[in-house]
Structure 1
Amino acid sequence: MSSDDPKNHIIKAAQVGFIHKLFQSQFDVVVENVTTIPRCNNNFIHFVTFASPIASDLVISGKPGAIAIPAGTAKVVCRVGNPAAMFNHAVKVENTVAMMQLTRQALSGLDIVPRVFAWSETGEPSGTGWILEEYMPGVDIDAEFFTDVPREAQRFVLNFELPPKASGFGGLAFDDSGAVTSGPFADEPYNGPYPDMESMYKGMLQAQLVEADRSRVAQG
């Protein structure tokens, strides 16, 4: 979706209004400014600046993968799913939060993965869910590690052992106890989780065949 698309501006304005309402009515935190990244692909990205830093640790969510906003925080990031993106939005946010939790654990020595303060699978403002996370100033990690991932980071990842419940092929989710477990794919039209790689590829191929049957182009 182009940043110049009028529909895009309407969506962003509604999301900014939602962010102000969320903090002021539910958390009693005054938002001074919301700055939105012009271009959106999978998510709309909003930088939220508070009128004053958080006075004390603020618990705004009891969901797994979320922690309290630390005292002294003056800026956070709110990611809202783009309805135009080809995702299963019913599971995308939970999958992302669970993945961030595991990635933080795997890269614990580098401190480059934002902490999550709150999240919602669906609902306002776009029906696609949102994530409220830590603002981490610094360089763009894609540009920094475009060609080579540091050996230290490789060591952390290669030595990281997945939780037993997250050994399936697909996406990630949380179980009733808050532990990370295997879940369905966030990408449409795939499902899962699958017990092994062979069944995953079979399932993905079957999903593609079903989609092809629905395609006017494939039907001629």
Structure 2
Amino acid sequence: MTWGKQDLEKTTYVPIQYDPECPFKYNNFVYSITLSRPLTSPEDVKTEHSDGQLRQQQPQPEPQPQPGSVGIPVGTRDLILRISNPDAEGMHSATRVENEVAILNLASAALRHVEPAVVPRVFAWGSASTAGSLGWILQERMRGAPVNEDFGAMSLEQKLGIVTQMAEILKALQDYKLPEGITGWGGATFDGQGRIVSAGMPSVGSGPWGSFEDSYRGRLHTAIQRADANPYIQGWRANGVRERLDAFIERGLPAQFAALAFKSDRVIVHADFTTNNLLYDAFSHRITALLDYDFAAILHPAYEFLRSFDGAGGQLRGWSGDESSEDATLRQAKLEGRFPSPLPANSDAI
């Protein structure tokens, strides 16, 4: 394929959901790319010579794709480029791009039966593991409108349709049989043969762990290490707080997991499964895409409900001293799976 100066000048790059006044650092800089002409059209095998004549190029061997990537389909013109922000808070670069690409591949396999396909294909990627490098992912641009922009104005029947599809997608992710290389709880990456294997969790900077309980123990140890390095918090050592934290990790944490059923379960966890990251077709009301796998991991299925479903009434939030009795009742119903029928007329749960 030969691209000239005019092709590049006609290619457009538009940032997506970027606010320069945003108070927090973005995890990624996301751009929508529209090429001047289809990237793999038949015309791309021709090249212009100095005499102005177009001649057919000699066939070239197909390059070997990177692990987790596929060739760009003929006629593709619209793409998405995600560039990792090295200054993102709480994100560790060692395998963050590899983890996202690996989970995208697992999710695509788990949801292969869904039509249209809801997981974007990866065309190329670059690791962020080298100091000073910007990781990136070039991927398919999915069609549809953001669900969160229209969800509030939908009828109850339309909301139920969206939530039902979300539940079907979630079940498929959790039912998927993970490859043999996934042996722990945490992140994922590729080995030397391109197989998906367990790795550290990019949002924690450690792992993989041998159990779901160990994953929380690892997260707590990481948080305490950061506190030790903080000159203001100083490891929470004043007034015996640090001793109580250490005691909780040693003796209290196991008690929290003692009654957890199916504690050996490992599934694909999107960890940001919200209406913000869903696209849908406004005519058919079918979900067309599940996006943004930046926080995705391999963890216990319960973890999804602690991190996802904000905006659709499904997230399990923590206890607070000023919560209403309705909030407490709703949380208990979510935990037990028992909801009143009919639902209260003023319920915003769905």
Please tell me the TM-score bracket, short chain as reference: 0.7 to 0.9
For 2:216, the aligned partner's letter is Y
Aligned pair in 2 of structure 1 residues 142, 84: CA closer, same or farther (>3 Å)? farther
User: Which of 70, 73, 76 is the equivalent residue of 2:76?
Assistant: 73
Pairing 1:131–2:137 present: yes
Map Cα deviations across residues 100-154 of structure 1 (whole Å, 9 max, x no partner).
0001111112211100000001389x72300000011112256668972524324
The secondary structure found in structure 1 opposite 2:81 is: strand
8 Å Cα contact 1:172/1:181 also seen in 2: yes
Q: Which has the larger radius of gyration?
A: 2
Number of aligned positions between the proteins: 193
For 2:193, the aligned partner's letter is S
CA distance in 1, matches of 2:184, 2:148: 27
Task: Name the TM-score, length of structure 1 as normaliser.
Answer: 0.76
CA distance in 2, matches of 1:157, 1:172: 15
Aligned to 2:201: 185
CA distance in 2, matches of 1:102, 1:46: 24
8 Å Cα contact 2:125/2:135 also seen in 1: yes
CA distance in 1, matches of 2:146, 2:76: 21
The Cα of 1:62 is off from its aligned counterpart by 2.5
Percent sequence identity is: 31
Aligned to 2:92: 88
Which region of structure 1 is more displaced relative to structure 2, 74-83 or 33-42?
33-42
Pairing 1:200–2:215 present: yes
CA distance in 1, matches of 2:208, 2:99: 12
Which region of structure 1 is more displaced relative to structure 2, 137-146 or 178-187?
137-146
8 Å Cα contact 1:90/1:128 also seen in 2: no
RMSD: 3.0
For 1:37, the aligned partner's letter is I
The Cα of 1:90 is off from its aligned counterpart by 2.5
The secondary structure found in structure 2 opposite 1:103 is: helix
User: Which of 103, 109, 114 is the equivalent residue of 2:120?
Assistant: 114
Aligned pair in 2 of structure 1 residues 36, 154: CA closer, same or farther (>3 Å)? closer
CA distance in 1, matches of 2:193, 2:65: 12
For 1:182, the aligned partner's letter is S
CA distance in 1, matches of 2:106, 2:127: 19
8 Å Cα contact 1:98/1:173 also seen in 2: yes
The Cα of 1:186 is off from its aligned counterpart by 0.5
| 1:142-161 pair list within 5 angstroms | 148-150=163-165, 151-161=167-177
CA distance in 2, matches of 1:204, 1:153: 28
Gap regions ≥5 residues in structure 1: 1-22
Aligned pair in 2 of structure 1 residues 191, 155: CA closer, same or farther (>3 Å)? closer
Aligned to 2:38: 53
For 2:233, the aligned partner's letter is A
CA distance in 1, matches of 2:227, 2:129: 30
CA distance in 2, matches of 1:94, 1:49: 25
The Cα of 1:38 is off from its aligned counterpart by 4.5
Gap regions ≥5 residues in structure 2: 20-25, 46-61, 152-158, 239-350
The Cα of 1:75 is off from its aligned counterpart by 1.0
8 Å Cα contact 1:169/1:195 also seen in 2: yes
Pairing 1:44–2:60 present: no
